[in-house]
Amino acid sequence: MTTCGEFLVKQLEAWGVDTVFGIPGVHTVELYRGLPGSAIRHITPRHEQGAGFMADGYARVTGKPGVCFIITGPGMTNILTAMGQAYADSIPMLVISSVNERARLAHGNGYLHELPNQRAMSAGVTAFSHTLMSVEELPAVLARAFAVFDSERPRPVHIELPLDIISAPAAHLSVRPRVPLARPAPARSPLHEAAAKLAKAQKPLLLLGGGCVAAEAEARALASALDAPTALTINAKGLLPPEHPLLLGSNQSLVPVRELALEADVVLAIGTELGETDYDVVFDGNFKIGGELIRIDIDPQQLMRNHAPSIAIHSDARTAMRALLELLPARAASADSPGAQRAAQVRARLAEDFSGWAHYRRLFETILEVLPEARFVGDSTQTVYSGNHLVELDGGRRWFNASTGYGTLGYGLPAAIGAKLGEPRRPVISLMGDGGLQFTLPELASAVEAKVGIIVLLWNNHGYGEIKRYMERRDITPLGVDIYTPDFLAIARGFGCAAERARDHAHLRELLRHAPADRPLLVEVMEATPFAP
């Protein structure tokens, strides 16, 4: 007999799911019945928030949905934060959970793991949340979830299976093929209007966001065709390589780029929210667009948020960029074209702004010297804040962190584990602070268990440094920020990791060079000489 739980596994396997993150409980064991006989690998985190962050990191690297199996109640409340992070950053995630039997829903009788309304709770951080009321619904509901992942703005989807449904017979269901679904393409009229405006622009500016990560070649071609200085959000980092003459980096909150945005006659913004954490980390509301704004986004509502466009194109980024490239006359972008000169002036001014950050620059140079292909998965700490401005990489999906959007501390370790599982051959550096690492520290055990060779670069300043500074700047006596910091090296070793404190840059280089392939290496860097200014 095939149960509904077994059928679910078969259907997921048929649609390309190769990894599931989850912690089983008495409510979900029936989801596990089919897993050992499948090609799906199961990764066990130490907390459901870890499962969600791992799925997030896996999804960002592979472009495929990260899939989690989660128990009713506490499992779902635990993963909710990670779903919020994925929701804010438009990451595809499929959360399959159990829920109490249909006849027991919404009674408040105190059944095991009971919540008043689990579906309603997750609805706020998902594209949709669905309670399966019959086995027969499952194929269509799963197909709806994949329709979101394939052709909408990606977001988490939650499907909950009542206990009497998970174990119900499902032999009569057959595994469906995945129906290919195209992403929305641009309508003709706004596309032509946009192309005409862009062809005439004297001082164009291109703003690319995380919605463009699957369109690297198109992003490079479009920047050149427009000869437009190009700013990248943090999730778009790498779409233009470090030496690209039009690159402005991710510095939209800084004056030189803001002046460019004000002067530009036409601004083309693609796959970007134009949101606060990329355009206004200084929270002063001073990112202004002076000229005409053309927006391209897969989410029609997003086209109308933050900055109103004069031309709005509802489309997948890559499809629209390709269509625009066909309509645009090629401008000769070169090292000294007008666009490149405007970008070079901004970069020179930014370099002055960054002069106090030479020590961070040196840290990243050291890492990239040893591991030029590295991917950086960060938390919300000094190395991340500075790297957001300083680091440029060749290739997208190589720099993401929890300093943007929802901004959850503790993200960086489990997301790095997911990223490494998603693309094992690429070195992964998890950029953590001593505060953030303590949120999800036990996931080191999950990484050891899964034989994941990530490098955790711990920036230790004995406290919630950023918040302490913020309090001091506002004349608030620091409280709750000088936290006790444990012996991270002993703890990491206790979990089975390699762990060392880097004495200096030469030592750091050595440690990185000899990082084990099959278990994490924790490298502690003290926020003091020789890593400080």
Ligand X SMILES: Cc1ncc(C[n+]2csc(CCOP(=O)(O)OP(=O)(O)O)c2C)c(N)n1
Residues of the shown chain interacting with Mg ion in the complex, contacts defined by CB under 5 A: 433-435, 461, 465
Phi and psi, residue 190, nearest 5°: -65, -30
Neighbours of 185 (CB within 10 A): 15
* Contact pick of 291, 436, 446, 512 for ligand X (by CB under 6 A): 436
Judged by CB, which is closer to ligand X: 118, or 404? 404
User: What is the smallest separation between the CB atom of 465 and Mg ion, expressed in angstroms?
Assistant: 4
Judged by CB, which is closer to Mg ion: 204, or 433? 433
Q: At 47, is the secondary structure helix, strand, or coil?
A: coil
Look at residue 530 and give the partner it binds from ligand X, Mg ion, none, a contact being a CB closer than 5 to 8 Å depending on partner kind. Answer: none
Q: Tell me, what DSSP letter sits at residue 331?
A: P
Stretch that binds ligand X, among 5-13, 316-324, 390-398, 429-437 (CB under 6 A): 429-437
Phi and psi, residue 260, nearest 5°: -65, -40
* Contact pick of 21, 459, 488, 531 for ligand X (by CB under 6 A): 459
Judged by CB, which is closer to ligand X: 279, or 385? 385
* Contact pick of 258, 316, 461, 521 for ligand X (by CB under 6 A): 461
User: What is the smallest separation between the CB atom of 459 and ligand X, expressed in angstroms?
Assistant: 6
Distance CA 224, CA 330 (A): 8
User: Does position 381 bind ligand X by CB under 6 A?
Assistant: yes
Q: How far apart are the first and last CA of the chain?
A: 66
Kindly determine how many residues on this chain lie close enough to bind ligand X according to the rule CB under 6 A. Answer: 18
User: Does position 52 bind ligand X by CB under 6 A?
Assistant: no
The distance of Cα 328 from the centroid of its chain, to the nearest Å, equals 32
Judged by CB, which is closer to ligand X: 81, or 230? 81
* Contact pick of 467, 489, 491, 526 for ligand X (by CB under 6 A): 467
The two structure tokens encoding residue 451: 């034989």
Contact 92, 64 (CB under 8 A): yes
User: Does position 466 bind ligand X by CB under 6 A?
Assistant: yes
Judged by CB, which is closer to ligand X: 292, or 379? 379
User: What is the smallest separation between the CB atom of 243 and ligand X, expressed in angstroms?
Assistant: 29
The 10 Å CB-count burial string (b at 16+, else e) for 83-98 is bbbbbbbbbbbbbbbb
Residue 179 one-letter amino acid: V
User: What is the smallest separation between the CB atom of 496 and ligand X, expressed in angstroms?
Assistant: 23
Contact 397, 238 (CB under 8 A): yes
Distance CA 499, CA 277 (A): 33
Look at residue 380 and give the partner it binds from ligand X, Mg ion, none, a contact being a CB closer than 5 to 8 Å depending on partner kind. Answer: ligand X
Residue nearest to ligand X (CB): 433
Distance CA 272, CA 267 (A): 12
User: What is the smallest separation between the CB atom of 112 and ligand X, expressed in angstroms?
Assistant: 28
- For every residue of 127-167, DSSP letters joined together read SEEEE--SGGGHHHHHHHHHHHHHHSS--EEEEEEEHHHHT
Judged by CB, which is closer to Mg ion: 211, or 465? 465
User: Does position 45 bind ligand X by CB under 6 A?
Assistant: no
403-422 positions binding ligand X, by CB under 6 A: 407-409
User: What is the smallest separation between the CB atom of 505 and Mg ion, expressed in angstroms?
Assistant: 21
Residue 416: name the closest of 366, 363, 379, 361 by CA.
Answer: 379
List of residues contacting ligand X (CB under 6 A): 379-382, 407-409, 433-436, 459, 461, 463-467
